[in-house]
Amino acid sequence: MKISQINQVNYANFIKKISGTNNTVIRKPVSFQALPCDTFVSQNEKEKEISKRVFASTKKFKIKDYKKLHGEELEAVRKVCTDDFDVYITAKDNVDNALKLKSYLDAKYGKDKYVFCSIGRSPAGIARVFEFMGVETKYIPISGLRNFPDADCVLGAADGLKEYGRFLRKQGISNEDISFSDKSYLFYDYTASGRSLLYFKDLITKYFRIKQKNMHFLSINYDLINAQIGEYELKNANYYIENYLQTSEIESFSGIPVLRVSRLFDIDKCRNTESDTAKKFNFLVIDMLNAKGLLKENSKNKKSL
C-alpha cells in the first residue's frame, strides 16, 4: 500500500499492522508534509532553484563561475546536472575522447604547444574540454559549407566577409598573430566528404590571405581514431563519431551558435548566451576535470566564445 493512498480513517489501523501491536493509538493523523517522500521533493526543488539561480547569473559557465561554488550550492548544482542523464553521459564521452586526443596532440606537437581552433559546431564539445584544460582554444562559427559545389560558390554566397575578417583578427587569427606564435594552429572540423574543411581552408588562406607554415587543417574524426591505442578505446572513438559527430548531436551541448555563410555579417551577434543544457555540460566537464586534477585556466581564452 502506498502512503499517499492512506486516508485518515484507516491510518491508525495501518500503523497497528506495521508496528505489530493493537495498543497504538493515533489521536491525530500525521501530516503528510512531514513524510520522507515530501521531504525529498522539497529538497529536489531546492536544488533546482539553486541551480537555476547559478546558471542565470552567467551567459557562459566558466571555470571562474565554478570556483565561486562551495558547500551546499556546489552539491546542489552537481546533483541537478548529474541527474540530467543525457548531459552527464555526453560530458563524460567528450572528456574521455578529448583526453585521448590531447595525449596524441601533446606527443605530436609538444605539450600545449598548439592552438585548438574549432570550425563550426561539431568539434566544439571536444574543444570545450581542451579549453578547460588550459589549452588555447578558438571557436569559429560557420555552417553549411558542405552544401556548396565549390569554393567559388561559397564566396559568391557569403555576405559579411568584412565583419567576419574583423572577428577573426579579434580572435587572434591573423598573419601577424600566427607568424609570431611558437605554437601550431590546428583548425579542426568534422569531415564526411571533406568539402567543408577544404572550403574553409580556401576562405582563410585565399580570401583572407592568412597562410603560415604552422597552420594545419585537420579532420576531428580522423584524429580521434589516430589517438586511440587499443581496441576498447577505438570502439569508444567510433561510438563518439557515429553518435555525436555524424548525427550532429553534440551541437546542442556546445553553446556555439549557427552562423550561415549567407549571414556572416551576424558574427558580432555570436556571443555566448548559452542554453541551460550547454551550461550544465560546461559545469560537468569542469567538475570531471577538477576531480582528475586537470582543470586549468588560460588567460588567452578570455575572448573565446
Taking the domains of the chain in order of start, what are their residue ranges?
A: 85-301
Q: 234: buried, middle or exposed (CB in 10 Å: 19+, 13-18, 0-12)?
A: middle
> How many CB atoms neighbour CB 287 within 10 A?
21
Global pTM exceeds 0.95: no
Q: State how far Cα 48 lies from the chain centre.
A: 20
Own/partner long-range contacts of 235-241 (Cβ < 8 Å, ≥24 apart): 236/93, 236/96, 236/97, 237/97, 237/100, 239/93, 240/93, 240/94, 240/97
**pLDDT tens string for the chain (305 positions)?**
444 443 444 444 433 444 444 444 444 444 445 545 555 558 789 999 999 999 999 989 999 999 999 999 999 999 999 999 999 999 999 999 999 999 999 999 999 999 999 999 999 999 999 999 999 999 999 998 988 988 889 999 999 999 999 999 999 999 999 999 999 999 999 999 899 999 999 999 999 999 999 999 999 999 999 998 788 889 999 999 999 999 888 888 988 988 999 999 999 888 756 789 999 999 999 999 999 999 999 999 988 88
Give, as one character, the DSSP assignment of residue 193: S
C-alpha cell at 64: 571562474
CB-CB contact of 188 with 218 (8 Å): yes
- The CA distance from 275 to 55, in Å, is 9
How far is the CA of 205 from the CAs of 122, 188, 225, in angstroms?
A: 21, 15, 27
CB within 8 Å of 71: residues ≥ 6 apart = none
Buried b or exposed e, range 72-97, using 16+ CB within 10 angstroms = eebebbbebbeebeebbebbebbbeb
